[in-house]
Structure formats: C-alpha cells, structure tokens
Structure 1
Amino acid sequence: MRRRSAWAVLAVAATALVPLLSASPPARAEGAAQPLRFLPERDYGPFVFIDEQGHLAGLSVDMLQLVLKQAGLHIQVLPAAPLKLQLQRLRRGEADLISSLRPTPERGAYLAFSVPYVSVPAIVVGRAAEAPGDTADGGTVLSALVGRTVAVGEGYGVEAFVRSRMPQVNWQAVPDDVQALRGVAEGRFDAAVVDTASAAFVKQRHQLKGLARWGTVGFEYTLSFAVPRERTDLLEKLNDGIRLVPRADAQAVIAKWMKPIEDDDFLRREQGAVMVGVAGVLLAVVGAGALSWAWQRRRQERRQVS
C-alpha cells in the first residue's frame, strides 16, 4: 500500500473539522485602534524565522496572518531575536503578542495562551556514528546522555523539563535549534534536544550531515500564540480567529511548510516507516482546542443568560 504523505493525512483531518471550524461563528471582532506589537523569534524554523532575503517567514507566521484576518486585528512586527530575549521583553510590557510558544507554569505567571495550533514531539539528535544502543521511543534515551554535553534551547519549554528529568547531563543552553544542531555536527556537543519539525528543517536548510534521531524525551511541543496575562480581550479575539480559519487556507499552510520536510528521517518512526510527521500537527490540535474553548464559552454565555 502506498504511504500517504504527512500533509495529505493532515488535509483529511482538516476536512473532518469543517463543521467545527465553521458552525455558528461569532461576529468578527473589531480591529484594535493600535496595531499589536508582535515579537518573532529569529531562528525557529519551520515555525518562525528570518529567511535568506531577510523576511519573516514560517508556519506560525502564515497561521497568524490567517487568524488576524478573521479576528480583524493588525500587527506591528518588532525586531526578531532569540526566544529568551523576546520573553524578557514581554515581561517588561514591551510587546503584545508572541507565537510558537508552549504554556508552562512559569510563563503562565505573566502570559495567557490561545488554543494550540500545532504539536510536535521533542527528540534527541546526535551524530549517526555515535548513536546509543537502545533508543526506543518513550524517553529512555535520556539515560544514555548521563555525563555527556547536550545542547538545548535557552528558555525553550523543553529546557526545564530535561534539566529536572536528567540533572546528570551536562546541559548547555544555546540561543536556538540552529546553534544546537550545528554544534552537534561540528563536534562541540554530543547531542541536542530539539523538536522533530525544527530538526528536519534546520538539517535541510543548513545542509548538516551525519545527524540522526536518537529517540524521544517524553515531551510534546504544543504551540500557541501568547499575550500578556491581563489581555483577556485580545486572547478571546485570537481564539475566535483560530476557530474561523477556512479549511482550504489552513491546508495550504500545512502543505507549504510540511511537505518539503516530510520525508526526512527525523519525522519517521523506524517501525513500518510510519510517519511521526509532526505528530498530529496543526488542525487536529486546533480542532480539539477549539472544541474545548467553544464549549467553555457557551457555558459562560448560558450562565450570563440565567
């Protein structure tokens, strides 16, 4: 049987979600008087990054444009920078919006998160010639890293997770996944913890050779848009926009960013050549989140009426 491509499978998932994404839509939100100050990451492809022409690009960027159109919002794009710096700016009140962010308790102290729109697993990537023996999925690969030097994105959601899970590893915080994987390829790090889609994208874009997937770490990057915690009005508009994104537009985003990297080894399980793909990427997660959010909203409306 011919294997379906990852983005084609996701297109089927999108079709199944049409009733949810289009049923009983709320009135479109009015645009804000001032554009929202958006903080993009500099190098987190394929989600948000600066391309070779110096333009902001990525799956999250395209999805944000779709959401803004539905929500009647506009943005002012601020200078791109590593995630750690952008989070510091958000805490100081210097911006209104960031993308591609996983909720964590620490971030929840000053940020509020939209329903998720993409989910990818974190993996360990090392040099193919040095792969440990048993690297079955389930996080057991971390035990093979004890005493070794492993890169992880500074301020990334997975950083606190792996540091607490395996403190015996010599964790090295780096600005982004490009620095992490390049350091592995050049021999400065023994391995790196990154997400599957980013690993495939960076390897192809920067032509890194000799890298292999060693296993998963038991952590899922479930990414959302985030706003200052007090901006509940903005959060509601973003959630409205996510739920109203047309199916065809969302499918086009999937095909644009996932199809070029779908055949990379980082995106596959070895057993049966089954695609891990981007592990239930995009609309399947959006649908589940939107369903939960829509139910909660209807419940609140019923309470107000009663």
Structure 2
Amino acid sequence: MLNIRRVVILLVAILVGSTAAAQDVGTVNFWDQHQRLAKPALPTLERIRFLTSVDYPPFNFLDARGRLGGFNVDLVQAACEELGLIDRCQIEARPFADLVPALLRGEGEAVVAGVAVTAPNRATLAFTESYFRYPARFVTRKDRPLAEPLAFSSTGKKVGVVDGSAHVAMLATFFPMAARVAFDNRELALEALRKGDVDAVFGDGVGLSFWLESEAADRCCSFSGGPYLSQRFLGEGLAIAVARKNADLAKALDYGIGQVIAKRRFSELMLRYFPVSAF
C-alpha cells in the first residue's frame, strides 16, 4: 500500500502534468497576466548598457556575420521600444565571468545573460521578475511513449538522468517509482535511449528540444508528458540583473517586458528561437 507521502507526491506530479497539458505552447510565458503595472517614471540615465555573453544559444550568441543576437537580445530591445528608450539602449558582449563585476564597476546598467537569482546575488543585485523558466521533460522513443499521468506510467520504467544534476533529485521526489539510471552526461543517457536500454530520459527541456531536431536523434524520439516546473529544483529562471542602487531600473524593465508579453511579441520570440517547443 502507498504511504501518505507517496500519495501526496503522486498528486503533485499529476497536477503539474495536467496544468502543463493545458498550456498553449505557442504563447507560453511566465508572467502574471493579472498584474497591472503602471508605467514607471523612467530612470534619468543617458544610456542603458545591457551586458551579455555570446556563448549561450539560443539566448545569447554571435550569428554567421558575427553580430550579437538571441532571445535575450531581442527581448531587451523590444522592452526598450515599449519604454520609449530604444535610442538609449545599448547591448555589449563580454565573457560571462566578467558580467557582474563589470556591472558593479559601473561599466553597464543591466546584465541579461542568465545570472542566477539567488540569495547571495541578491545581496548586491536587484532583479526583474523572471521572464523564462526552465522546464524538465521526459524524452521517450516514438514507438514506446509514456502516457500521462507519468507519476503512474513511469512506475518500474528505466529513466536515464545525468548523475549529480538537479533532475536526479527532482525525478526522485516527483516520480519515486521510476527506476533511475544515472549517466555521466546527457549524451550517454540519450544514446542509451536510442538503443532501447532505458525507457526514457529526464532532463532540461530546452536542451532536449534542440536534441530532438538534431542529426544525433535521427527522429527517434519525442517528449512524453510535462512540462514540469519546479523553483525548488530548477531555480527561479531567467531575469535581468541590475545593481541594487538601480532597483528602479528593474521595475521599469518589468513594465517593458510586461508590455512585450501583453502584445504577444514574447510569443513571437518563443516561436522564433524555439522551433521545437520545450513546453
């Protein structure tokens, strides 16, 4: 007989899966659509320099012509347009390790490159609301899919997961009756899936969405169930960071991003940069 804790875990997993199934993958966003932000007094800055990196596609990268691009770049440009600041916004690329130090030295006003929203970082930084959260997903062979609710259908199934990752702990908590199979890296786990040595792989939905369209996948597989979101295991997602003294700038950017979402421009960016939705 299932104990009380396991029943609660199953119910949570079912709820997460049901909520995810109701989402429109083309218009997914993580903004509270009920909040009504008043247009803020714009910061009196001569320019707003956004600092980013170039090594995290599809969020930040250099295109074939060597130009800076990506989801984050287009998002802040759209937010600046909504705020009427497009002529004052600049985007500069630097190594990721130098982004926050440069911000704190006053060499930029904001960082849009996936700086973690953590308690230690909040000691020196202020953040916008999260505009993107990473989903966890199951990938299965197309000829052996798993049906919702996966809390039940994963029972006894061999599920590959990267050893030491947050997804190991998340899988153990929400899908405790799956048979976890740890691999040193994602490539080994996915190769085992292709061969049929495991029934599924559980991991980062964004990375898996691009793998599904890759030559390595060879059209073998697809998502089953989900997406599954968890702040506890996967963090607070992506937000723009500013120095704490510039917290008003974060609020202004919140308004700008909110307008981008309300006018469905955010959805257009999702479709542009994530042709296979992670959601």
If the length of structure 2 is used for normalisation, what is the TM-score? Answer: 0.57
- Check 1:116–1:164 CA distance in 2 against 1; reply closer, same or farther (3 A cut): closer
Residue 255 of structure 1 is aligned with which of 268, 274, 278? Answer: 268
Aligned equivalent of 1:61: 73
Letter in 1 for 2:251: N
- Check 1:35–1:172 CA distance in 2 against 1; reply closer, same or farther (3 A cut): same
Residue 53 of structure 2 is aligned with which of 31, 34, 39? Answer: 39
Q: Structure 1, residues 70-111: CA drift from partner, whole Å, max 9, x if none?
A: 3654331125xxxxxx3x5457x2556133466355765775
Structure 2: how far apart are the matches of 1:106 and 1:130? 44
- Check 1:5–1:214 CA distance in 2 against 1; reply closer, same or farther (3 A cut): closer
What is the SS of the residue equivalent to 1:20? Answer: coil
- Post-superposition shift, 1:36? 4.2
Residue 220 of structure 2 is aligned with which of 201, 210, 213? Answer: 210
The question of whether the paired residues in 2 share the 8 Å contact of 1:36 and 1:76 is answered with yes
Structure 2: how far apart are the matches of 1:41 and 1:140? 38
Q: Which runs of 5+ in 2 are unaligned?
A: 1-21, 104-109, 174-179
The question of whether the paired residues in 2 share the 8 Å contact of 1:122 and 1:193 is answered with yes
Structure 2: how far apart are the matches of 1:171 and 1:107? 31
Q: Aligned-pair RMSD on alpha carbons? A: 4.8
Q: Structure 1, residues 189-238: CA drift from partner, whole Å, max 9, x if none?
A: 9635122x55434534668421222444553665332437xx11334313
Structure 2: how far apart are the matches of 1:180 and 1:68? 42
- Post-superposition shift, 1:38? 2.0
- Post-superposition shift, 1:35? 3.3
- Post-superposition shift, 1:115? 0.5
Q: Which runs of 5+ in 1 are unaligned?
A: 80-85, 268-277, 279-306
Q: Aligned ranges for residues 1-306 of structure 1 at < 5 Å?
A: 6-7=25-26, 20-21=36-37, 23=38, 25-31=39-45, 35-43=49-57, 45=58, 47-69=59-81, 70=83, 72-79=88-95, 86=96, 88-89=97-98, 93-94=101-102, 97-100=111-114, 103-104=117-118, 112-119=126-133, 121-129=135-143, 136-137=149-150, 141=154, 144-145=157-158, 148=160, 150-151=161-162, 159-160=165-166, 162-163=168-169, 166=172, 169-173=181-185, 191-195=201-205, 198-204=207-213, 208=217, 209-216=219-226, 219=230, 222-227=236-241, 231-245=243-257, 246-247=259-260, 250-258=263-271, 278=279
Structure 1 vs Structure 2: percent identity of aligned residues? Answer: 15
What is the SS of the residue equivalent to 2:230? Answer: strand
- Check 1:38–1:136 CA distance in 2 against 1; reply closer, same or farther (3 A cut): same
